[in-house]
């Protein structure tokens, strides 16, 4: 398969890139190119111009700053996987990166590209929903911040305006035991993806991020769903079920350095709460039947994976 | 449509070409530079037969534009052997019967080479995960895993030998 | 882990004959990027062909407008069916004597069918040209469901075929129907399963392609092409294009290094013919390389058998008879690559490893609006379907009579004393010891412990299954009394030439696609002649130099060409013996042969080497002897070979998601005497993985409009190293009594044996819930539907 003709531009600065996007007709931004180039080869996309932001310095940084984990436009999945801060404090992000495509694709694919593509089958959007991330879009008029809930508009459609580049993703830094204790909460998250094989799209994917108080009650819950509708889905009802519920026995989250992650003492009715949240997540889905399963199957997988992701998130919060 | 001057260093040798924007790196390597050891097996970035090292990073060269590689150091299968003969990994593939038709082999070798550079003693699970972007239809992967383990062991033994 | 009870080597490590795990001679070039595959070939002035394909499954072509394509920089020509019609090249025969369009003149019959060829100066320009060709279609309602294709009101698809009044292609049957029916009428127990072995694709990592180079001055055509059968292709080209001046002595077909074949590179695809036609018309070399989507969507599929199978047995589970009714979906044309007299291939091997009184099998083949096929994908012509059917339903019988599936098999095995065994459907099995393979497999996997573990897990509500498959294969077509392709008998050939310095070249009529012929054939010559295998250069694939043969597929290379190599080498050894007698001044009968050396009986210090004899063949001949050291053999095997094995696997099922994990898989194979154990084990590993694919992942499906739903690696799910288990192999050795080395074929045994083993394991995990069958591929959603129905989904 051969891409159609286009002009290629490799700006050396963000300003130059924004200028090109403003002046060129039918221009498409490329970062890692791992979604765009296959689409070009299949001639599903035929832009007249490609603006490759891959050579712009300064966009490949990742780190905590000002209360956020800040992920630049050119941070690859592999860089995320290898980042010590992510491994220690954002295991849900590591979960997500590890199940995207395959390791070779991840060497070039970027987190921002995965999100900006607007594909509900992509994995990071659900995680960003669960983490309540903010999208930083840079355009000719400067930067603006878009909350993740306002970012995904539909199949391949996002809040990014023409001429804008998703230059950074900001994830609120967890403060709890998992990460320093500033907010006194215990944080844990997990992303689970059901896929037929490495490199396949998700049959269903579920991201869960929880914060719990010392009393074992959930203070904040985020649940995002992958490939279960025309856009990434926030399972708000599931979040509501979880928020305020006591999932862990009082004091059960102490002993934060326990290696036995599954050993946390669940509260008496935790299983029922989790089941109700899982069902609420399933009810939030609107999947289509395809070769990966029926509507009913996918709904049920949303339920099963949500339950498992909550359990894993809890275990991490306790560990 | 604009053309671009591209300079790449392939297996240590610099090459300059004027190319179309859309030329894929794999076609630059195969058709322009006549290094046909790098193969093409799919259109959708799944099979990994085209894997090369771009600045040391294993990359599917069918999903990179030649212009994106301007200034890069490229490693292909043709560059693995040196004056002392085949690399430990190439030798491992031969000793452990890690190849049959040979078509996926160059991609497997490049991925395996990068894996061993980053992780001198990978576990079986780590090897299987690392090569999961490279499809093989002949070997069933068992002997490819063994080939990587062979290379890891041989390199470790050689290193120990040098220390003495 | 590998267990073995093997034939040990008889030659030294230096000679490296049979039984040595010789490292492969082809590896250094493949490992250093010096393989020479089809897309690596270029010629001066070479042009590129790319193909316009139909987006619809069935319809009339109203108009093809190439004007915009011809404006594309670099595009030289657009060839349509009308252009080829002028040369009467718009149709071609299939290997099953059906017909197939090269390019259509008025109607398209399946999605992705070739519609026009664009010739350009580069790969990129040709692709642009394809995108610019505008074709107007008038869609018609396609026939996709093969059962509907046989209904009386179904539209007749092949209106081009005279006398074709419905969509039936042929009816085939084997066995005594009446006698079989009688047993069923009186049997204690009858079990029945309907099952589909779905359409799949070989998906070799290298796609198909060719480089056609017609020299208009000499009228000579060279075609470099990805073919498993170069000689047969040359003859077919001469037969179908003789009228435009192509004559067999002026056609050279070269099959270069092939990046996996598996049967998919046996047929002649329209792309090859268009490239050749374009080269003839333009007088320039024309290259065509398929992309992956074309490969999956248009090249011949495999399988697609809908089977309705029944076993009649007595109350103890002793099998008395088998009855199978089958519908075979061939798509638009019967483009199988099977022997002429076997439209349903060797499906009649379906009685498998079991002794029974009677069997009856029938197959009806139909046309539908899907791509034509089907090829024998790593399969000796429909053996995969036959084995899947038998090995699945034997489990149903075991379940019905309440016996362990391994025990039921053992009680029905053809006993080893019964060989040669005459099966009710007419085969003479050459040799077998099925119980030995079963015993080894059970021991390797720890069968009894697994059954105990399963019982404990069931108590806890966990789902774990153990699957057994004891297959019998039929390989090595074949005896020429029965087997031909387009009338050409299915012998194969070898030509061995020993040079004066004792080094040799050996050429064969087959063509390796990764099987390692350069190594194993050299070992065969080494075994027989005592020359070091390292000194035997093996060549195949060039019709100008190799002896005529039918090619490599259906695991026939060792049974046929390998045997031809043995016979040719033995001729040379006989000649060498005469020369040795001359050199040692004794009679031939006074000589003893140890591999590589003739010595005088009782005087072992008086000896000459095979190299001495070779040198003398050119320098110091006995009087009257023809000079040189060269021999040829065309080997017509007296029978097929019947390798067998028992595979046992363990699966775990996730009750939440329906996911199946193959925890362990033990494969015990018996392929007779082994030439290279390392290579045989590699063949088993690869075959198992190509059995895992269709068992759990791969299928080529279509929607009701005939749109392919698995047309790229996004949806055609080839297993990676992560999904593939660490295969465990073992071997028993039961030599073939008629093969000169006692060897049998092996390449496809594992592809045939693995799917039912895995399917049986999944069904076994669910058997206590009353489940007797699961269709492959066993997708998680399919399992989950069953779990839910049975009330055990969580």
Q: How many domains does chain A have?
A: 3
Indicate if A280 and A204 belong to the same structural domain: yes
Identify whether B115 is part of a domain: yes
Residue A176 binned pLDDT confidence (cut-offs 50, 70, 90): very low
**Domain-terminating residue out of B79, B103, B128:** B79
Indicate if B102 and B70 belong to the same structural domain: no
Q: Among the residues of C17-106, which ranges form H helices?
A: 27-31, 67-71, 81-85
Task: For residue C272, count CB atoms less than 10 angstroms from its CB and return exposed for 0-12, middle for 13-18, buried for 19 or more.
Answer: buried
Question: What pLDDT digit, counting tens, does each position of B36-90 carry?
Answer: 999 999 989 999 999 999 999 999 999 999 999 999 999 999 999 999 999 999 9
Å between B118 CA and nearest CA of chain C: 19
Tokens (6 digits) for C451: 């059954």
Task: Give me the domain span that covers residue B107.
Answer: 88-158
Name beta bridge partners: C195: C307
DSSP string, chain A: --PPP-EEE--SSHHHHHHHHHHSSSEEEESS-TTHHHHHHTTS---SEEEEGGG-TT-S-EEEETTEEEEETT-BHHHHHT-HHHHHH-HHHHHHHHTSS-HHHHTT-BHHHHHHT--TT-SHHHHHHHHT-EEEEEETTEEEEEEGGGTEEETTEESPPTT-EEEEEEEEPP-SGGGT-TTS-EEEEEEEEE-SSTTPPPSEEEEEEEEE-TTSBEEEEEEEEESSSSS-EE-HHHHHHHTT-B-B-TTTT--TT-S-GGG--B-TTHHHHHHHHHHHHHHT-----BTTB-HHHHHHHHHHHHHHHHHHHHHHHH-
Å between C533 CA and nearest CA of chain A: 40
Indicate if A298 and A215 belong to the same structural domain: yes
Q: Which residues lie closer than 8 Å to A284 by C-beta, 6 or more apart?
A: A225, A228, A233, A234, A235, A236, A237, A238, A302
Candidate from B2, B24, B133 with C-beta closest to A102: B133
User: Chain A within 8 Å of B48 (Cβ-Cβ)?
Assistant: yes
Task: Spell out, as residue ranges, where chain C has pLDDT lower than 50.
Answer: 1-5
Tokens (6 digits) for C184: 């069923």
Q: Which of B38, B40, B65 best probes binding to A when mutated, by most A CB atoms within 10 angstroms?
A: B65
Indicate if A247 and A155 belong to the same structural domain: no
Question: How many whole angstroms separate alpha carbon C628 and alpha carbon C760?
Answer: 58
Q: Which residues lie closer than 8 Å to C400 by C-beta, 6 or more apart?
A: C189, C191, C317
Q: Average pLDDT in the B156-162 region? A: 82
Task: For residue B161, count CB atoms less than 10 angstroms from its CB and return exposed for 0-12, middle for 13-18, buried for 19 or more.
Answer: exposed
Question: What pLDDT digit, counting tens, does each position of C122-144 carry?
Answer: 999 999 999 999 999 999 999 99
Considering C210, C379, C613, C649, which one is annotated as catalytic? C379
Indicate if B75 and B94 belong to the same structural domain: no
Predicted model pTM: 0.97
> Is domain C38-140+208-289 given the CATH code 3.30.559.10 in the classification?
no
Q: How many CB atoms lie within 10 A of CB C626?
A: 8
Question: What pLDDT digit, counting tens, does each position of A234-289 carry?
Answer: 999 999 999 999 999 877 775 444 444 445 788 889 999 999 999 999 999 999 99
Indicate if B23 and B43 belong to the same structural domain: yes
- The number of helices, as runs of H, and strands, as runs of E, in chain C is 19, 35
What's the CATH number where A151 sits? Answer: 3.30.465.10
Let me know if C379 is a catalytic residue: yes
Q: Which of B138, B143, B150, B151 best probes binding to C when mutated, by most C CB atoms within 10 angstroms?
A: B138
DSSP string, B126-149: HHHHHTTTS--SSS-SHHHHHHHH
Indicate if A189 and A294 belong to the same structural domain: yes
Q: Which of C71, C657, C702, C718 best probes binding to A when mutated, by most A CB atoms within 10 angstroms?
A: C657
What's the CATH number where A19 sits? Answer: 3.30.43
Indicate if B153 and B116 belong to the same structural domain: yes
CATH architecture of structural domain C301-477+639-789 = 2-Layer Sandwich (3.30)
C518 neighbors C508 (Cβ within 8 angstroms): no
Candidate from A3, A10, A101 with C-beta closest to B22: A3
Q: Which of A119, A196, A306 best probes binding to C when mutated, by most C CB atoms within 10 angstroms?
A: A196
Start-to-end C-alpha separation, chain C = 36
**Domain-terminating residue out of A150, A172, A194:** A172
SS3 C365: strand
Identify whether A40 is part of a domain: yes
Q: Average pLDDT in the A219-223 region? A: 96
What's the CATH number where A252 sits? Answer: 3.30.390.50
Let me know if C748 is a catalytic residue: yes
Task: Report pLDDT for A180.
Answer: 42
Identify whether B101 is part of a domain: yes
φ/ψ of A84, rounded to 5, equals: -65, -40
Identify whether B41 is part of a domain: yes
3-state SS, C514-543, equals: CCCHHHHHHHHHHHHHCCCHHHEEEEECEC
Q: How many domains does chain B have?
A: 2
A218 neighbors A211 (Cβ within 8 angstroms): yes
Task: Report pLDDT for A258.
Answer: 43
Task: Report pLDDT for C167.
Answer: 98
**Angle A193-A196-A197 (CA atoms, 0-180°, nearest 5)?**
95
Indicate if B43 and B98 belong to the same structural domain: no
Report whether pLDDT(A131) > 90. yes
Task: Report pLDDT for A283.
Answer: 98
Å between C724 CA and nearest CA of chain B: 7
A201 vs C contacts (CB less than 8 Å):
714
Q: What is the mean pLDDT of chain A?
A: 93
Indicate if B56 and B100 belong to the same structural domain: no
Task: Give me the domain span that covers residue A167.
Answer: 62-172
Å between C720 CA and nearest CA of chain A: 7
Share of chain A above pLDDT 70, in %: 92
Tell me the pairing of strands C305-313 and C319-329.
Answer: antiparallel
Closest CA to A203 of A116, A275, A289, A306: A289
Candidate from B102, B131, B133 with C-beta closest to C35: B102
Q: Which residues of C168-200 are buried (b: 16+ CB within 10 A; e: fewer)?
A: ebeebebbbeeebeebbeebebbbebebbbbbb
**Domain-terminating residue out of A172, A200, A235:** A172
Candidate from A5, A10, A78 with C-beta closest to B22: A5
Identify whether A224 is part of a domain: yes
8 Å CB contact of A196 and C701: no
Report whether pLDDT(A177) > 50. no
Let me know if C594 is a catalytic residue: no
C288 neighbors C275 (Cβ within 8 angstroms): yes
Indicate if A79 and A119 belong to the same structural domain: yes
Name beta bridge partners: A217: A246
> What DSSP designation does C413 have?
B
C37 vs B contacts (CB less than 8 Å):
36, 39, 103
Question: How many whole angstroms separate alpha carbon A319 and alpha carbon A316?
Answer: 5
Candidate from B58, B63, B68 with C-beta closest to A54: B68
Calculate helix-pair angle for C405-412, C383-401, nearest 10 degrees.
110
Indicate if B111 and B69 belong to the same structural domain: no
C715 vs A contacts (CB less than 8 Å):
291
Tokens (6 digits) for C348: 């009649």
Identify whether B124 is part of a domain: yes
Identify whether B13 is part of a domain: yes
Are C38-140+208-289 and C301-477+639-789 equal in CATH topology?
Answer: no
Task: Report pLDDT for B162.
Answer: 59
φ/ψ of C602, rounded to 5, equals: 80, -10
**Domain-terminating residue out of A127, A146, A172:** A172
Å between C753 CA and nearest CA of chain A: 22
**Angle B119-B120-B126 (CA atoms, 0-180°, nearest 5)?**
50
Q: What's the CATH fold of domain C2-22+492-635?
A: Aldehyde Oxidoreductase; domain 4 (3.30.365)
Task: Report pLDDT for A267.
Answer: 86
8 Å CB contact of C697 and A197: yes
Candidate from A6, A42, A105 with C-beta closest to B43: A42
| 766-785 in chain C: CB under 8 A from chain A | 779-781, 784-785
Closest CA to C51 of C137, C123, C136, C107: C123
Tokens (6 digits) for C540: 């195949």
Question: What pLDDT digit, counting tens, does each position of B84-138 carry?
Answer: 999 999 999 999 999 999 999 999 999 999 999 999 999 999 999 999 999 999 9
Identify whether A296 is part of a domain: yes
Identify whether B164 is part of a domain: no
Considering C24, C199, C320, C378, which one is annotated as catalytic? C378
Task: Report pLDDT for B163.
Answer: 52
ipTM reported for the complex, 2 dp: 0.98
Let me know if C378 is a catalytic residue: yes
**Domain-terminating residue out of B23, B50, B79:** B79
Domain definitions of chain C by residue range: 2-22+492-635, 38-140+208-289, 301-477+639-789
Name beta bridge partners: C223: C212, C253
8 Å CB contact of C697 and A199: no
Indicate if A84 and A156 belong to the same structural domain: yes
Name beta bridge partners: C134: C65
Indicate if A308 and A192 belong to the same structural domain: yes
Indicate if B66 and B8 belong to the same structural domain: yes
């Amino acid at each position: 398969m051969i891409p159609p003709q286009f002009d290629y531009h490799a700006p050396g600065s963000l300003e130059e890139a924004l200028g090109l996007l403003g002046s060129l007709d039918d221009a498409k931004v490329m970062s890692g190119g791992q979604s765009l180039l296959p689409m070009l080869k299949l001639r599903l996309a035929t832009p007249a111009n490609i603006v490759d932001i891959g050579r712009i310095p300064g966009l490949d940084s990742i780190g905590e700053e000002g209360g956020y984990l800040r992920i630049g436009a050119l941070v690859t999945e592999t860089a995320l996987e290898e980042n010590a801060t992510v491994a220690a404090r954002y295991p849900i992000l590591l979960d997500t990166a590890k199940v995207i495509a395959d390791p070779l694709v991840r060497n070039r694919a970027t987190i921002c590209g995965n999100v900006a593509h607007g594909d509900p089958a992509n994995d990071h959007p659900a995680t960003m929903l669960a983490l309540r991330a903010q999208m930083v879009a840079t355009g000719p008029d400067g930067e603006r911040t878009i909350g993740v809930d306002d970012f995904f508009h539909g199949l391949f459609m996002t809040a990014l305006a023409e001429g804008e580049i998703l230059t950074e993703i900001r994830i609120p830094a967890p403060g709890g035991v998992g990460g320093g204790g500033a907010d006194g909460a215990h944080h844990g998250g997990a992303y689970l993806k059901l896929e037929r094989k490495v490199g396949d799209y998700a049959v269903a994917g579920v991201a869960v991020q929880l914060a719990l108080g010392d009393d074992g009650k959930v203070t904040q819950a985020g649940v995002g769903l992958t490939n279960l509708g025309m856009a990434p889905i926030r399972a708000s009802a599931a979040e509501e079920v979880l928020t305020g519920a006591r999932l862990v026995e009082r004091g059960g989250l102490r002993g934060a350095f326990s290696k036995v992650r599954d050993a946390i003492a669940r509260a008496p009715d935790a299983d029922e709460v989790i089941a109700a949240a899982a069902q609420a997540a399933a009810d939030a889905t609107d999947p289509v039947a395809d070769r990966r399963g029926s509507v009913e199957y996918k709904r049920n997988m949303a339920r099963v994976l949500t339950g498992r992701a909550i359990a894993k998130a809890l275990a991490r919060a306790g560990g | 449509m604009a053309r671009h001057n591209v300079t790449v260093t392939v297996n240590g040798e610099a090459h300059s070409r004027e190319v179309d924007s859309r030329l894929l790196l794999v076609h630059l390597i195969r058709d322009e530079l006549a290094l046909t050891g790098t193969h093409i097996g799919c259109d959708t970035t799944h099979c990994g037969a085209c894997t090369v090292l771009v600045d040391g990073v294993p990359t599917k060269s069918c999903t990179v534009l030649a212009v994106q590689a301007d200034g890069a150091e490229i490693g292909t299968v043709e560059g693995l052997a040196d004056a002392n003969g085949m690399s430990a990994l190439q030798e491992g593939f031969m000793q452990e019967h890690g190849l049959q038709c040979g078509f996926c082999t160059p991609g497997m070798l490049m991925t395996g080479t990068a894996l061993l550079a980053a992780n001198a003693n990978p576990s079986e699970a780590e090897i299987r995960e690392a090569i999961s972007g490279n499809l093989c239809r002949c070997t069933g992967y068992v002997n490819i895993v063994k080939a990587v383990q062979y290379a890891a062991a041989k390199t470790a033994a050689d290193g120990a030998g040098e220390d003495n | 882990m590998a267990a073995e009870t093997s034939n040990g080597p008889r030659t030294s490590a230096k000679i490296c004959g049979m039984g040595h795990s010789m490292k492969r001679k082809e590896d250094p070039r493949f490992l250093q990027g010096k393989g020479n595959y089809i897309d690596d070939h270029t010629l001066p002035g070479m042009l590129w062909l790319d193909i316009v394909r139909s987006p619809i499954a069935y319809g009339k072509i109203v108009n093809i407008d190439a004007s915009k394509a011809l404006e594309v920089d670099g595009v030289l020509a657009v060839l349509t069916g009308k252009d080829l019609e002028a040369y009467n090249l718009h149709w071609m025969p299939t290997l099953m004597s059906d017909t197939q369009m090269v390019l259509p003149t008025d109607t398209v019959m399946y999605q992705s069918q070739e519609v026009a060829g664009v010739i350009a100066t580069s790969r990129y320009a040709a692709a642009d040209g394809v995108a610019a060709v505008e074709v107007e279609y008038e869609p018609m309602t396609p026939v996709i469901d093969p059962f509907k294709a046989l209904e009386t009101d179904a539209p007749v698809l092949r209106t081009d075929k005279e006398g074709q009044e419905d969509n039936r292609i042929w009816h085939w049957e084997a066995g005594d129907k009446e006698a079989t029916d009688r047993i069923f009428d009186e049997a204690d127990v009858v079990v029945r399963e309907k099952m589909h072995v779905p359409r799949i694709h070989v998906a070799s990592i290298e796609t198909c392609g060719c480089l056609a180079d017609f020299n208009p001055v000499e009228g000579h055509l060279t075609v470099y092409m990805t073919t498993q059968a170069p000689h047969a292709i040359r003859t077919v080209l001469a037969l179908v294009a003789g009228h435009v001046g192509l004559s067999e002595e002026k056609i050279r077909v070269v099959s270069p290094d092939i990046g996996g074949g598996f049967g998919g590179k046996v047929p002649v695809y329209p792309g090859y013919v268009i490239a050749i036609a374009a080269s003839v018309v333009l007088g320039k070399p024309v290259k065509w390389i398929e992309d992956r989507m074309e490969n999956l969507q248009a090249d011949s599929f495999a399988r697609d058998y809908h089977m309705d199978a029944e076993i009649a047995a007595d109350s103890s589970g002793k099998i008395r008879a088998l009855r199978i009714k089958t519908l075979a979906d061939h798509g638009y044309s019967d483009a199988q690559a099977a022997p002429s007299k076997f439209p349903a291939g060797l499906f009649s091997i379906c009685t498998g490893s079991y002794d029974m009184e009677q069997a009856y099998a029938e197959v009806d083949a139909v046309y539908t609006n899907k791509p034509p096929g089907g090829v024998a994908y790593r399969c000796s012509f429909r053996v995969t379907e036959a084995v899947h059917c038998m090995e699945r339903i034997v489990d149903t019988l075991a379940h019905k009579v309440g016996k362990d599936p391994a025990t039921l098999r053992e009680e029905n095995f053809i006993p080893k004393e019964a060989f040669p065994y005459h099966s009710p459907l007419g085969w003479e099995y050459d040799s077998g010891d099925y119980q030995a393979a079963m015993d080894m497999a059970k021991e390797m996997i720890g069968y009894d412990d697994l059954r105990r573990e399963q019982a404990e897990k069931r108590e806890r509500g966990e789902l774990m299954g153990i699957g057994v498959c004891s297959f019998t294969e039929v390989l090595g077509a074949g005896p020429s009394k029965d087997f031909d392709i387009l009338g050409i008998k299915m012998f194969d050939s070898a030509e061995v030439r020993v040079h004066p310095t004792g080094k040799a070249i050996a050429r064969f009529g087959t063509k390796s696609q990764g099987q390692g012929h350069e190594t194993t054939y050299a070992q065969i010559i080494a075994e027989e002649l005592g020359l070091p295998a390292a000194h035997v250069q093996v060549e195949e694939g060039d019709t100008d130099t190799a002896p005529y043969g039918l090619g490599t597929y259906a695991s026939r290379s060792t049974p046929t060409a390998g045997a031809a190599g043995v016979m040719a080498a033995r001729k040379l050894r006989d000649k060498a013996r005469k020369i040795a007698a001359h050199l040692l001044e004794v009679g031939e009968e006074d000589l003893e042969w140890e591999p590589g050396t003739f010595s005088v009986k009782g005087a072992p210090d008086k000896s000459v080497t095979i190299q001495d004899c070779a040198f003398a063949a050119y320098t110091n001949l006995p009087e009257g002897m023809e000079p040189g050291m060269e021999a040829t053999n065309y080997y017509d095997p007296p029978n097929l070979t019947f390798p067998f094995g028992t595979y046992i696997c363990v699966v775990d099922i996730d009750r939440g998601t329906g996911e199946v994990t193959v925890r362990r898989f033990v494969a015990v194979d018996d392929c007779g005497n082994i030439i290279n154990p390392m290579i045989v084990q590699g063949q088993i590993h690869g075959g198992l993985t190509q059995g895992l694919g269709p068992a759990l992942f791969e299928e080529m499906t279509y929607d009701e409009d005939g749109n392919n739903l698995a047309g790229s690696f996004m949806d055609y799910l080839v297993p990676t190293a992560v999904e593939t288990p660490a295969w465990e192999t073992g071997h028993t050795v039961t030599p073939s009594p008629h093969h000169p080395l006692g060897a049998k074929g092996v390449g496809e045994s594992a592809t045939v044996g693995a799917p039912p083993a895995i399917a049986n394991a999944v069904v076994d995990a669910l058997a206590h819930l009353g489940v007797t069958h699961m269709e492959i591929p066993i997708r998680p959603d399919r399992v989950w539907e069953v779990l839910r129905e049975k009330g055990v989904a969580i």
